[in-house]
Structure 1
């Protein structure tokens, strides 16, 4: 691990639009921070970088890179940690394959992703790639719990300039469909460990054959360990019923999963949805597709791309077209390009797709390019009720009003991989009927499930220390804000029942006089929060990890139009700070627009807020008064930025991401030049403020002048740094001004 001193900020290189924006914004950060004696270092935790870090022995010296994610994981456990983490790709298998293909084409000698590994070499490669796919980054860095809320400036701007909300009608046919039985929630078992131990997960088949699925699973005293499974026969019946229901009700059919975070379980569920929608296709050609290594888990898009090389390729494509014609109308990701809800498992991620649907009046886009009501299919019932509650509320009371609505900030349990269901090595697809047991070191059975072939079994862990810290953070935020704090926990669910007992114990460790601390089931908590929102009141949602992910998109998208504008602070348990910059769900479309039109509409507002919080943390921890001045002036500059409406417009002609960075730099320099806390800093920035203001027209013309023609960045997953910098810093006047400060 590389040592960093207390005046160092780590800025992460990630993926897609946030990465491209970094080429424009990072030089500004480095120049301004240097004036306060703060150094800014970068670490590459992009999908491409994480892939290359897995295969050092296959790369040349100039290609080899270190494992930056592992390094930052260690750093996150130290008091000195100060990490700004931008959104990264949580790779589905199709994304992973595409990244591998690009890297190979760029000359990196890495193995292809083995779909069905047979040799030891293929098994080793698959194990390496399994470390990369899905939500591999966040669990490593999140050595603390989450404090996420809308900054006052963002909330104020949304109230003064409310974003468009679609109209909700009381007779809307949009509904949520969920299993409610035979799913992960209903089959869940949970235990609290009385002492530290080492567990095993064992499958015993009907003929008595024992297979150890997981060995050496270490647990701590007080740790909550859960296990559950989804009955796949029930899943298939459910999916078939919902497809018929959507057809009969003449609404759009859509499936909403989390194939990135739940990187093992949800792609399998997605594959079953593909098969259920096209039963004739898989009855006729299923064996041929499987023999060719074509998996429905990768989606309809991958299937259609791969079948061209098969003898029956044309017939298979015709069968797909027939299935689309015979089934219900399907919700579309991009109707212009024929990309359906079932094309790519990572295209329709529940925490982004459901809030977007709710925001536009309960509609999704149909194959005819028009909005329509939909049946939102969420197979597992753990949190489906949250979205159903919002839909019911909107049907009864109409769309929420951003100009008057309150806020739902979140305190999320996530430290030390808490509740990382489905995104790790404790999820298995059953190959034989039998029983899966979780066994302690003495041979005692802690949990047991009877399973059938194809069932999806999974377990997770939640350590006691993060739960204590989570309760403490919730009470702290309730005290600081004066808002009620509601734990979204369901006493009828096994895991939640154990957490409720701990919450009751640990809340007593804190002074809660005058505070409102409640525990409600997720659906009831959502309804309660919505009632308060409509009165302009704030309510802190205190949730587990998965629901944290959902709520920190759901409410921000409704409140301020996007989750990218949220302040996301992770107070690390050992004293450091992790500052996250918002969601990146729309980042792929942004990159496509840049490549086609040299226009990047990514909004870096989340980066601005994270940077200010990072400076403030550093100032408090290192007693660096200048870092505090940078934080205060950056906050003031961001408020001006919002008031002057300098965020990127959606289409060419206005300023894009690069222009927004210029205006942030201008307003920040002006704030620094006029502040009275540090005369030397004011003197250092006064000439820059004057120059940027004087050259405003020339700089904007240089930035906007490149729009409208294609841009070459040298790669999607791993852009060429020189090309990307040239594209993202097209103003010679701005570059010279910033570089002169550096």
Structure 2
């Protein structure tokens, strides 16, 4: 029997799974395909780290490790839903919930000192941040808007905010003394084992990373960001925002870049509230309240301090004295500085651009904004887009072209933040990357507090990425631009490999070019304004940024993207869009029994997964499932069956019913497999006949609070009951 692994993840995608997976499993079984689940949720990952502390009933398999091994096998077929890339506050919240549920897991050690605490910290480090993607992504990324989604967006264009040519919205970035400007890069001539060490001014040597294995042809980068220059920059931008009267906002990636960006976020908090930290910094530190965790965590801990009320007043005074802060939720007073994982650059910047260069202010109104992106590596992408909109106005989804992406990410290529090779420097000195012969490959002079990091990109994934770009350019007929800057150290090494490998490939008639990110952004925007399409071929971080930026502008969301990862071993990983795990949707579900999550990404990933089975295992029925699902999804879009935006309309559960109806109807009338047609004809008739009753049952439950049994670890029975409220629909699917 063929098998597809369907991942259990977190938040809105997990809630949707309770409703959608029973439908998928029933339909797939008719084609001899088994749907098997694998728990890679944040809670599941935590539980897997502490088996010796748990009962037999509580223990869970280390599903992430198992899936990582499967991803390196030619038989892999994995549908990967969005998961929480846990920031420290999210990790702590999940730990507290699991402890309340009776799991004997330890607290997260902020500053581990004993061997036991260091062991706990190491285990939690394997869980937090971008723990999942580097393990599963054993191939490069092919992400694009499906034809049906693009056609729907053109026929039903989403709203776009109007741009004022005199808009004061802008992007500010360091441009010097940052990761971009300090980067050094080398290509390793032969397999080796490297070492990273810090030599202090007094000669003390500290090994930061021992035994770092590298392969022949691998690219090693290292860089640092100056803490002192960062604070100077931030102070100047806070003053600039106040002087111009615009909102102040910071845009980082504190989840995936889970060491560097939380530290940078902490510098923003400390700089914005400098008078508070000057006066009370010692008190906050003694209480374990860290700026890196954001303002919300600090405020929540003030009640335990004897002078907590005094400190709270100081924070209030600093907010009143500073520039207006961009808000995550103005009704609840949640600012851009409250939680490091609330404002993520790849989601927040496209949203700002889409609504006319605005964010929400403390008064609940939209306003021009100074977007602070400290590192200058890719800040120019957003600045170019903003400047283009100021000059030419908003983009038109009804006519604009598309920018699909081929992204370099296989085998942890350019992994976000290189968290296992990122360090906050303890003392002035020199950080060196040494080979096994003791020779220095890269070195930097650093000061205390600087953030130093390295990353690695193996040769084989780079070659695969180049070939995938050429293949997509030929199959699509689109020009392809490699977004690389020859003046940046890492990019220069990539360009050498492109120049060496392209001549070995059939590129006749293809339009291939290499442009720095700002120029590539401008050319892509020029083309999409004319309705022309352009493939972006990028490294890992830009892949993440662009697969939100262009989809949000083109089709209104990145959750509707087709995301295929052809695994280098021959298997397939199918990702369900780039929409994140949508915590706000779960909050609404708990409060109102209404889930706005759109599962369209799951539909596209499932069709691609079935097609992969057909091609690699010769399962003809799986191909019929794929073809009919594609047609059903087209009907789903044309009939506008995506979740509505208000109570009384169908939500995620209703959208699943309509997908089941349209898919059954397509299967019943297809002529490629008479057995499947005969099996699905009665189901299609029953679902159509019960449509009114089923929709009524699904809508009737809306409006009241529900008990899911947990946020990070929902109770399966309670969550399933919430997400399958139609007895009529359930009887039909379960019987089928």
Match of 2:322 among 307, 312, 327: 327
- Alignment check: 8 A CA contact 2:418 2:454 kept: no
Q: How far 1:509 sits from its partner (Å)?
A: 1.9
Name the counterpart of 1:279. 274
Name the counterpart of 2:65. 70
- Alignment check: 8 A CA contact 1:134 1:423 kept: no
Name the counterpart of 2:294. 299
Residues 105/420 of structure 1: CA separation in 2 closer, same or farther (3 Å cut):
same
CA–CA distance in structure 2, aligned partners of residues 423 and 504 of structure 1: 26
Match of 1:375 among 370, 380, 397: 370
Match of 1:125 among 107, 120, 127: 120
- 1:29 has 2:24 as partner: yes
Q: Per-residue CA shift, 1:411-449, capped at 9, x if unaligned? A: 000000000141421000001000000000000000000
- 1:496 has 2:495 as partner: no
Name the counterpart of 1:520. 515
Name the counterpart of 2:441. 446
- 1:198 has 2:187 as partner: no
Q: How far 1:506 sits from its partner (Å)?
A: 1.4
Name the counterpart of 1:565. 560
For the residue of structure 2 that corresponds to 1:333, the secondary structure is: strand
Match of 1:620 among 601, 615, 621: 615
CA–CA distance in structure 2, aligned partners of residues 420 and 387 of structure 1: 21
For the residue of structure 2 that corresponds to 1:185, the secondary structure is: helix
Q: How far 1:113 sits from its partner (Å)?
A: 0.5
Name the counterpart of 1:11. 6
For the residue of structure 2 that corresponds to 1:579, the secondary structure is: strand
Match of 2:342 among 347, 350, 369: 347
Name the counterpart of 2:586. 591
Match of 1:393 among 374, 388, 397: 388
- Alignment check: 8 A CA contact 1:256 1:353 kept: yes
Name the counterpart of 2:550. 555
Q: Per-residue CA shift, 1:132-180, capped at 9, x if unaligned? A: 0001000000000000000000000000000000001110000000000
Name the counterpart of 1:177. 172
Name the counterpart of 1:246. 241
CA–CA distance in structure 2, aligned partners of residues 713 and 20 of structure 1: 9
Q: Per-residue CA shift, 1:389-416, capped at 9, x if unaligned? A: 1001000000000000000000000000
- Alignment check: 8 A CA contact 2:83 2:581 kept: no
Name the counterpart of 1:652. 647
CA–CA distance in structure 2, aligned partners of residues 354 and 273 of structure 1: 18
Q: Per-residue CA shift, 1:211-247, capped at 9, x if unaligned? A: 0000000000000000000000000000000000000
Q: Per-residue CA shift, 1:643-683, capped at 9, x if unaligned? A: 00000012211000000000000000000000000001000
Name the counterpart of 1:312. 307
For the residue of structure 2 that corresponds to 1:186, the secondary structure is: helix
Q: How far 1:740 sits from its partner (Å)?
A: 1.4
CA–CA distance in structure 2, aligned partners of residues 535 and 149 of structure 1: 19
CA–CA distance in structure 2, aligned partners of residues 421 and 720 of structure 1: 32
Match of 2:218 among 219, 223, 232: 223
Q: How far 1:583 sits from its partner (Å)?
A: 2.4
Name the counterpart of 2:575. 580
CA–CA distance in structure 1, aligned partners of residues 334 and 367 of structure 2: 17
Name the counterpart of 1:712. 707
CA–CA distance in structure 1, aligned partners of residues 298 and 503 of structure 2: 55
- Alignment check: 8 A CA contact 1:146 1:411 kept: yes
- Alignment check: 8 A CA contact 2:191 2:213 kept: yes
CA–CA distance in structure 2, aligned partners of residues 55 and 738 of structure 1: 38
Residues 108/584 of structure 1: CA separation in 2 closer, same or farther (3 Å cut):
farther
Name the counterpart of 2:666. 671
Q: How far 1:558 sits from its partner (Å)?
A: 0.3
Name the counterpart of 2:43. 48
Match of 2:182 among 170, 182, 187: 187
TM-score, length-normalised on structure 1?
Answer: 0.99
- Alignment check: 8 A CA contact 2:276 2:315 kept: yes
For the residue of structure 1 that corresponds to 2:111, the secondary structure is: coil
- Alignment check: 8 A CA contact 1:134 1:263 kept: yes
For the residue of structure 2 that corresponds to 1:508, the secondary structure is: helix
For the residue of structure 1 that corresponds to 2:179, the secondary structure is: coil
- Alignment check: 8 A CA contact 1:421 1:459 kept: no
Q: How far 1:504 sits from its partner (Å)?
A: 1.1
Residues 545/458 of structure 1: CA separation in 2 closer, same or farther (3 Å cut):
same
Q: How far 1:107 sits from its partner (Å)?
A: 0.5
CA–CA distance in structure 2, aligned partners of residues 448 and 616 of structure 1: 49
Name the counterpart of 1:737. 732
Q: How far 1:584 sits from its partner (Å)?
A: 3.6
CA–CA distance in structure 2, aligned partners of residues 37 and 125 of structure 1: 43
Q: How far 1:250 sits from its partner (Å)?
A: 0.3
Superposition misfits of 4+ residues, deviation over 6 angstroms: none
Q: Per-residue CA shift, 1:178-227, capped at 9, x if unaligned? A: 00000000000000000000000000000000000000000000000000
Structure 1: which 5+ residue stretches go unaligned? none
- Alignment check: 8 A CA contact 1:88 1:584 kept: no
> How many residues of Structure 1 are paired with residues of Structure 2 in the alignment?
736
For the residue of structure 1 that corresponds to 2:707, the secondary structure is: coil
Name the counterpart of 1:643. 638
- Alignment check: 8 A CA contact 2:481 2:536 kept: yes
- Alignment check: 8 A CA contact 2:129 2:257 kept: yes
CA–CA distance in structure 2, aligned partners of residues 307 and 295 of structure 1: 12
- Alignment check: 8 A CA contact 1:135 1:263 kept: yes
CA–CA distance in structure 2, aligned partners of residues 392 and 422 of structure 1: 28
CA–CA distance in structure 1, aligned partners of residues 657 and 528 of structure 2: 35
In terms of mean alpha carbon deviation, does 120-129 or 195-204 score higher? 120-129
For the residue of structure 1 that corresponds to 2:420, the secondary structure is: coil
- Alignment check: 8 A CA contact 1:421 1:458 kept: no
CA–CA distance in structure 2, aligned partners of residues 575 and 563 of structure 1: 26
Q: How far 1:119 sits from its partner (Å)?
A: 1.4
Q: Per-residue CA shift, 1:360-396, capped at 9, x if unaligned? A: 0000000000000000000000000000010010000
CA–CA distance in structure 2, aligned partners of residues 586 and 217 of structure 1: 33
- Alignment check: 8 A CA contact 1:135 1:423 kept: no
Name the counterpart of 1:101. 96
Match of 1:601 among 596, 600, 610: 596
CA–CA distance in structure 2, aligned partners of residues 247 and 92 of structure 1: 29
- 1:470 has 2:465 as partner: yes
RMSD: 0.6
CA–CA distance in structure 1, aligned partners of residues 252 and 435 of structure 2: 32
CA–CA distance in structure 1, aligned partners of residues 381 and 459 of structure 2: 26
- 1:534 has 2:546 as partner: no
CA–CA distance in structure 2, aligned partners of residues 585 and 577 of structure 1: 21
- Alignment check: 8 A CA contact 2:201 2:428 kept: yes
